[in-house]
Amino acid sequence: MNKPLEPSVFPMFATPFAVIDFPNPEELNIKLEQYFDLLVSQGVKHKNPRPQNYVQDNLFESNFDLFHYPDPAVQQLRLFVLQTVAWVIARLNGYDHEQMQKIQLFSDAWFHITEFGGYFYTHNHPMASWSAVYCVNPGEDVEGKPDSGVLRFHDPRPHCNTYLDSGNANLSGVYNTYSHNFKLKGGQLIVFPSYLQHEVAPFFGTDRRITVAVNCWTQRYGS
């Protein structure tokens, strides 16, 4: 009997993520945490007055103008984040240096301080092309709670798990139909398409989970 022909198999609707660690982030993260505490101590002045998502008492969400603050640690983080996003844009779109010079990158940035029981339910970020999350302090690991404070992304194919049986329930690698969790560590930056639905699972640590969120969009000048 002849050997059966084998079809080509390839991913069609792939979703890119970029992950990078800030080198030796301890000093930067200490300074960021201290500065965020200073802003919080000034009351509602730096708190987001119109949150798009329900914000509990055990979750502080700042205004979206964080990268405009002249604090050196904030500006150091801003440079790291925007350089990384620009690299992602150039690499995935195939832009060379000359093309990138014609593209202006805009951003909003804000921070979250999450205490025991705080969470952020499923959402995405309209009116942006790329988003990012930087981890200042992941909070403590909690025994028996492996999902405490994880950053969870949901599969963007809304009907991919409508029907699961033995033919498709155990697809491997990029073909699986499950959500993906990031257990963040201090100094880690995650860059992802802004359309992705994501959430932060309830945090059960006795300390705090601190992150910076960023939305980016571009405008191109010239031909």
Mean pLDDT calculated for residue range 194-216: 97
- What is the structure's pLDDT at 55? 64
User: Nearest 5°: phi and psi at 218?
Assistant: -130, 160
- What is the structure's pLDDT at 120? 92
Fold of 18-157+178-220: Jelly Rolls (2.60.120)
- CB burial of 7-23 (b: ≥16 within 10 Å; e: otherwise) equals eeeeeeeeeeebebebe
Residue 80 has pLDDT above 90, yes or no: yes
Residue 223 has pLDDT above 70, yes or no: no
Confidence band, pLDDT 50/70/90 cuts, at residue 53: low
Question: Mapping DSSP to helix (H, G, I), strand (E, B) and coil, where does residue 204 land?
Answer: coil
List 172's β-bridge partners, or say none: none
Confidence band, pLDDT 50/70/90 cuts, at residue 101: very high
Residue 173 has pLDDT above 90, yes or no: no
- What is the structure's pLDDT at 57? 79
**pTM of structure:** 0.94
Q: At what angle do helices 72-93 and 26-41 cross, to 10 degrees?
A: 120
Alpha-carbon span 86 to 99, nearest angstrom: 12
- Digit-coded pLDDT (tens) for 11-46: 999 999 999 999 999 999 999 999 999 999 998 889
Residue 89 has pLDDT above 80, yes or no: yes
Please state, for a pLDDT cut of 90, what percent of the chain lies above it: 85
User: Nearest 5°: phi and psi at 29?
Assistant: -70, -35
List 117's β-bridge partners, or say none: none
Alpha-carbon span 50 to 29, nearest angstrom: 27
CB distance 22 to 80 below 8 Å: yes
CB distance 124 to 197 below 8 Å: yes
Q: Please give the single-letter amino acid code of residue 37.
A: D
- What is the structure's pLDDT at 50? 79
- Digit-coded pLDDT (tens) for 118-147: 999 899 999 999 999 999 999 999 999 999
